[in-house]
Amino acid sequence: MELRYFSAGKSLALDTGSCIGCGRCVEVCPHAVFSINDRLAAIEVRDRCMECGACGRNCPTGAITVKSGVGCAFAIINGMVSGKEPSCDCDGPESPRKNRKACC
């Protein structure tokens, strides 16, 4: 069964002009969102993106931007409880996950 997420990668953006084709995004993405075509990254299946942020954190050139955490269940619930934008607040001072290296 293929997983689909609440916000389905809406915040994920790729600037191919900054991409050097290193393939890190392909390696770190847990849902095979990216592929390398003609030596540049491409968003293959946006709907699989759970906005974990791993690709943006690992891209050496900053070619990827993604608002991490907005698509995960923790973020949705956090947003409902706080009345703010969904955020898992992985790096925030109050986050129980603040000492984790990877978000979500």
By the criterion CB under 6 A, which residues form the site for ligand SF4?
A: 9, 12, 19-25, 28-31, 33, 41, 49-55, 59-61, 63-64, 66
Nearest distance in Å: CB 51, ligand SF4: 5
Q: Shortest approach of ligand SF4 to residue 67 CB, angstroms? A: 9
Place of tokens 């974990």: 52
Q: In the chain, at which residue ranges do the beta strands (DSSP E only) sit?
A: 13-14, 34-37, 40-43, 64-65
Report the residue number, 50 or 83, with the smaller CB distance to ligand SF4.
50
Report the residue number, 54 or 90, with the smaller CB distance to ligand SF4. Answer: 54
Q: How far is the CB of 14 from ligand SF4 (least distance, A)?
A: 6
If the CB atoms of residues 22 and 97 are measured against ligand SF4, the closer one turns out to be 22
* CA 55 – CA 27 distance, rounded (Å): 9
Structure tokens at 17: 């002009």
Q: Which ranges of 15-104 does DSSP label H, i.e. alpha helix?
A: 24-28, 54-58, 73-82
